[in-house]
Structure formats: C-alpha cells, structure tokens
Structure 1
C-alpha cells in the first residue's frame, strides 16, 4: 500500500499464436512462407513467452473472491472500478481456439511484423510496434502459468482480468518487453527495480473498497500497518480505511 502497485515483468504464454496442428504440418512443406519461417524460428530458439511489465486486477464479485485468493494469496486490495478507468487500466481480450479472432490476429501480424522479426527480437532491435502493444492485452482462454516456480494450467477467462501496462517509449528507462529466453534473473530484477521507481500505480485511501486478509487474527497487524503508512492523512480518512478491512474467513461464511 505504501508505494502503490508495482508493475513487474510477467511471462505471457504466446504458444497460442502458432497452433500445434500448424507446427505438425511444417515437415510436409517443401517451401517456407512467412508463417512457416516464423514458426521454425520460434521453435529453433524456444520462444514460447514474452515478459511485459504489468499490474493485474480481476473484476470479480466479492462472493467469488476466495477462489481467486486461494490461488494467488490471501492478502489483497479491492479497488474501485472508477480508479482503474481513471488510471488507464483496460480489460484484456481472451482468445478461443475455434473462434475467428486468433486467425484475424495472425493475418494482422502477417501484414505488420517484419520478415526478420525473430532476428530483431534476439538483437533487441525490434521496436515496440502495434503488434507487440496489442499482444500485451491478449490471452488464451486456457493456458499455462507459473505459480511458486511450478507450471500449472488455468482457465484464464474466469479471472476477468484488467491490466496496467506501462511503457517507456519516451525515456527508455526500462524495456517495454523482455523475451524470456534471453532475459536472465539479474536483468529481470534490475528492470523490475526501475519500474518500481518510475512506473508504480499510485492511489488514495478513497480508491480502496476492501482490504483483504486471510483470517480475523490478521486484522490487528493490518490496522497497525495502515496507521503507520497513512499517519499523515486526516483521522477520518484513516478510520474509513480501517473499516474496509475484511477477512476471507468472514467472506466464506457470510457471502
């Protein structure tokens, strides 16, 4: 709460971009077109994800919050939607394998990405063009993600996700994206430190609707934290903020 929401580099699965059945057909082709060349390059360099700096939020009702916190953790903030819209957050777009949307996106990429895109990606010379900007807000209905170092499969659309994805086009203080096969831990940590300093998403106490803690026993600790962090705010604002603390145990029982 003290420094706002910190946009960290999160790995986004891009395997949906090239269907498995398309990969299987590659060996039968005698000549390579753009997509076949691109796919072979993706396979060659094991490019299956790209990391973008982001803060993620879920637009889900309070009655369903425990399913989310059981997966991601028991502490959290519930923000007003007005705050999210004001700060430039946007809902992401979920892709269904059998819909026409993935093919429309592939055709769009075909027209807008350079033929040597993979080499440019490897050399870090690929500019953050409209394709890469768009992909920040695309996600398959179902896919893989890492939780505590382990890869799990998840139905992403259940999260109704909104994203804040900062850019550094003007000042170049941090990378707009990191190809995961190139980024090492040190580079990732250094980039995250920069986004914390220059791109954190701030808020006021009035922007908070709920403060979630796992159990009632955690409430006194959070109250002490709030009194310390917001000590310079008027007392009535701090008291109002304290009234928004609620435990997930209470939600499970009462909602």
Structure 2
C-alpha cells in the first residue's frame, strides 16, 4: 500500500519567489533491487545505519515491471542534468508566481513533475522514524518505486513544502495516508506465485511461517493486498 513519503530536494535548488522548496511529499511504495550477497548489510546495518530489519518478502522482478515500477534516477548534485532540471522547473515556478503560465508550460511541467517523483540525489538526508539520517548513500538501495496513477480529485499526487503549508505537517500527512489506503487504484495486488523468497530472522520463525503456509496449501488462488 503506497504511503506519502517526504523526499528532500534541496540538491535541486528549487524556489518559489524567495522561498526554497524543501520537500516533495509523494505517495509511493519502494522496493530495493539488492543482490543476495549484500542482504546482510541492508538487514543489519552498521554503526552508522540501523538497517531495515531481518524480515522481507522478495518479489519477482517481472511482477514489478507488470505493475509499472520504475527504477530511481540518481542525480549528481552540480551535474549538467541537475542544473538543466533546476533551471526548467524554476522557470515554471516563476511563471506561476507571475500568473503567466500557458498550456505548453503546463505540459512541460507535467513531464518535470513526473521526473521528480522518480529522482533522488546520490547522497542526501533520509528520514527514518523520528531521526534524520544525513549523508545517506541512496545508490546502495538500488531503489525501484511504484507511484500510483490516481486522479488528483481522489488523492493528491504530491504535496510541496513549504508551498502547501500546513498540509505538509506530520498530522496532515498521516490523515492523507489514511485516505489513500481506501483508494483501490493505489493498491498493489499480488499472488503467491509472484513471491520469489521470504526471509525471516531465525529457524523458529521459518518453522512457524512454514506451518502457516501449509495451512493455505489448499487454496488454489490467494490474492493479497
């Protein structure tokens, strides 16, 4: 189920008037395309990074492709790509501020907004719970992302901090997450045959999970959300 998640975009140097844009808050579900020999680091972490935990469901990549997953585009701060993107996006924000937008600019902005939903810096800040991890190497995650295609009148496709004001507060985002949970097009259905591996922490966990799966053995078709 997609959740609204804050992406810090200071590396893009976007601004509306004299206000820098700090975050885009985007509904998404994220997966990592991690090689098996690298799993231990991502599960356990190290002295600087706590890791994601020792339980995981590994899906077949072809399932993600069918669902419309997209690998993240990692952007180097200061690169020509970043500078051109920043210039284009800021020109559109300036047109909004001056009320001089037109259909062509709106169409170009749609392309830029779609790109920003699948962009991350090589290094940056990552919120995790109540803490903010600094200088995180995002390329380690090899992230693939699902961003639901939902009408804006059903659920917001993004929020911009600070332009959307109080709507970007933690409480407001929690409310938005409760709402998007009810939006059927935002869900990611899968069948048991789409699962490649299941990782657990201990042998006891494996035994318990095996018993649970065996109870479901008689079901010819199990669809999960």
TM-score, normalized by length of structure 1?
0.70
Instruction: State how many pairs are aligned.
Output: 202
Mapped to 1, the partners of 2:137 and 2:171 lie a distance apart of 31
Q: Is residue 75–residue 120 contact of structure 2 (8 Å, CA) maintained in 1?
A: yes
Would the aligned equivalents of 2:16 and 2:90 in 1 still touch at CA under 8 Å? no
Structure 1 unaligned regions, length at least 5: 1-5, 19-34, 120-125, 239-255
Contact 2:122 2:137 in 1 (8 A): yes
C-alpha spacing 1:17/1:218, structure 2 compared with 1 (3 Å): same
Q: Secondary structure at the match of 1:85?
A: helix
Structure 2 residues not aligned, in runs of 5+: 45-50, 100-105
For residues 17-42 of structure 1, the C-alpha deviation after alignment (integer angstroms, 9 at most, x for no partner) is 11xxxxxxxxxxxxxxxx7x736212
Q: Which residue of 100, 110, 121 maps to 1:140? A: 121
Q: Which has the larger radius of gyration?
A: 1
Normalising by structure 2, what TM-score? 0.78
Stretch moving more, 9-18 or 100-109: 100-109
**Which residue matches 1:81?**
61
**1:185 correspondence with 2:180:** no
CA separation of 1:112 and 1:217: change in aligned 2, threshold 3 A: same
**Cα shift readout 1:56-85 (whole Å, capped 9, x = no counterpart):** 011111111121222112211111111111
Q: 2:199: which partner in 1?
A: 212
Residue pair 1:113, 1:131 contacting (<8 A) in 2 also: no
Partner in structure 1 of residue 96 of structure 2: 116
**Is the alpha carbon distance of 1:39 and 1:227 closer, same or farther for their aligned partners in structure 2, counting shifts above 3 Å?**
farther
TM-aligned CA deviation for residue 147 of structure 1: 1.5
Instruction: Measure the CA separation in 2 of the matches of 1:117 and 1:149.
Output: 34
Alignment partner of 2:30: what SS? strand
Structure 1 residue ranges (4+ consecutive) displaced by more than 6 angstroms after TM superposition = none
More strand by share: 2
- Are the structure 2 counterparts of residues 65 and 82 from structure 1 closer, same or farther at C-alpha, using a change threshold of 3 Å? same
SS of the aligned residue for 1:172 comes to coil
Comparing 107-116 with 49-58, greater Cα deviation is found at: 107-116
Question: Which residue does the alignment assign to 1:233?
Answer: 219
**Equivalent in the alignment of 1:69:** 43
Match of 1:176 in 2: 157
Which structure features the higher share of helix residues? 1
